[in-house]
A = this chain, B = another copy of it.
Amino acid sequence: MFLLLILKFLICGLTSETFRTILSVSETFRKTLPAIQRKLTSHPMTATLKDVARQSGYSVTTVSRALNGHDDVNEETRSRIRAAAEALDYSPNLNARQLQTRRAQSLGFIIPAEAQRLKEPFFMEFLSAVASEAAQHDYSILLSAHAPDAQEEDAYRHLAQSGRIGGMILMRARRHDPRVAMLTGLNIPCALFGRTGRDDGCAWIDVDGQAGVHAAAQHLLALGHSRIGHILGPDQYHFVGERQAGYASALAAARVPLEPDLIITVEHMTERDGYAATRRLLELGRPPSALIAVTDLVAMGAMRAVQDAGLRVGKDVAVVGFDGLSLTAYTSPPLTTVAQPTEEIGRKLVAMAVAQIAGDESFPKNELLIPRLIVRESSTGDQSKGQVLL
């Protein structure tokens, strides 16, 4: 319409009079257009501090302070402002707040791109604990999965630099974990599940895998097994070394020689790889009569391999897992496993991250938890109810 107007004037010829008119029209238009656009495009019903200020008759500054509980505001003023905010259904725009304060009440969590991994029940149980503990602290979780093609480190960097998170929860610490270095460089506090092995000042919680596997091996030795297979994960993880140490120490204590043949490494800690590894172990000249697997999922693969070989799990070949997934109570037979307190770990990691963000130096920065061995039929072979040992 405006263009038509111009066109019309152009056709009629321009006098300085009409030109001034155009300018004034254009001026009005320029002023009213944004308002119109705003009405049309923006979420119409989201009140801002300005709205509350107008409604209550105070300045934006005062409103901000009143709603944030500063003590330099008259109580009567505060209640008026509160009423206005309530009436308008005001709730703060966190983008603006986070931009201004450079703080964010969210923790980042990145899940591996590979969907299989994400479906690992362990991830989910962990995440559930993390999310609910975060809620207790009034934090939310920003869940991100890096695109399959992208660099892992970039994914972490983008999230960290996006300004939307105040800290980060990391899983599966690796020996020389590039993520940790990067995040501390960016001044993003992080809480790590697992140890990197060197003291990089990062907060962590870990489970004593050495003690756990030691207990598992001891349990199997006590049952009379002397050929115990050990299915390990990739060496890049610090815990793999720990686990192997626990295995070795238990055998040594029982004066059982350590046979390299019985120790095998899987590339991915999946059911599939557990199955394959177990097949190889069972095909040995003198196969093991018991197995310790790096993960419950790997152990489930192992159980299937044992059964497919015509052997009975628990009777012919004892199987022990590691993780303590709730799933393991329902397998047939139920799986003996070294249980990590998944929920406790998730909760404590969040608490650590939050404490660090708040600058609370007194909060413990790391903790080593002792796992507990849950004995079930997959190792004992009997039908009695499962019991919990240390």
Contact = CB atoms under 8 A, between A and B. Distances in A.
B99 A157 contact: no
B132 A118 contact: yes
B143 A188 contact: no
Interface stretch (A26-34, A36-44, A71-79, A171-179): A36-44
Contacts of A330: 300, 327, 330-332
A143 B125 CA distance: 15
A110 to B, nearest CB: 9
B142 A140 contact: yes
A138 interface: yes
Contacts of A91: 157-158, 161-162
Interface stretch (A16-24, A144-152, A232-240): A144-152
A163 B300 CA distance: 44
Nearest to A141: B143
A121 B118 contact: no
A209 to B, nearest CB: 24
Given A93-B99, A138-B147, A327-B330, 14 more contacts: A41-B187, A42-B102, A94-B163, A95-B99, A95-B164, A115-B132, A118-B131, A118-B132, A121-B121, A132-B145, A140-B142, A140-B144, A142-B142, A300-B330
Contacts of A92: 161-162
Interface size classification for chain A: 35 or more
26 contacts: A41-B102, A42-B102, A43-B102, A45-B185, A45-B187, A89-B157, A92-B161, A94-B164, A99-B99, A111-B131, A118-B128, A119-B125, A119-B128, A123-B128, A131-B143, A132-B145, A135-B147, A138-B147, A140-B142, A140-B159, A141-B142, A141-B144, A142-B142, A142-B143, A327-B330, A330-B331
A63 B142 CA distance: 28
How often does this chain occur in the complex, in copies? 2
Interface string A75-107: 000000000000001011111101100101010
B127 A163 contact: no
The 7 closest A-B pairs by CB, nearest first: A135-B145, A124-B124, A141-B143, A94-B162, A95-B99, A91-B161, A43-B187
A307 B289 CA distance: 32
A186 interface: yes
A338 interface: no
Contacts of A185: 45
Interface centre among A95, A113, A157 (most CB of B within 10 A): A95
A115 B134 CA distance: 12
Contacts of A104: 95
Interface of A: 41-46, 89, 91-96, 98-99, 102, 104, 106, 111, 113, 115, 118-119, 121, 123-125, 127-129, 131-132, 134-136, 138, 140-147, 157-159, 161-164, 185-188, 300, 326-327, 330-332
A366 B124 CA distance: 28
A127 to B, nearest CB: 7
B96 A99 contact: yes
Contacts of A326: 119
A278 to B, nearest CB: 18
A116 to B, nearest CB: 10
Nearest to A41: B187
Contacts of A45: 185-187
Contacts of A115: 128-129, 132
Given A45-B185, A99-B99, A140-B142, A93 B331 contact: no
A92, A102, A128: most-surrounded residue (chain B CB, <10 A)? A128
Contact of A327 (B146, B147, B327, B332): B327
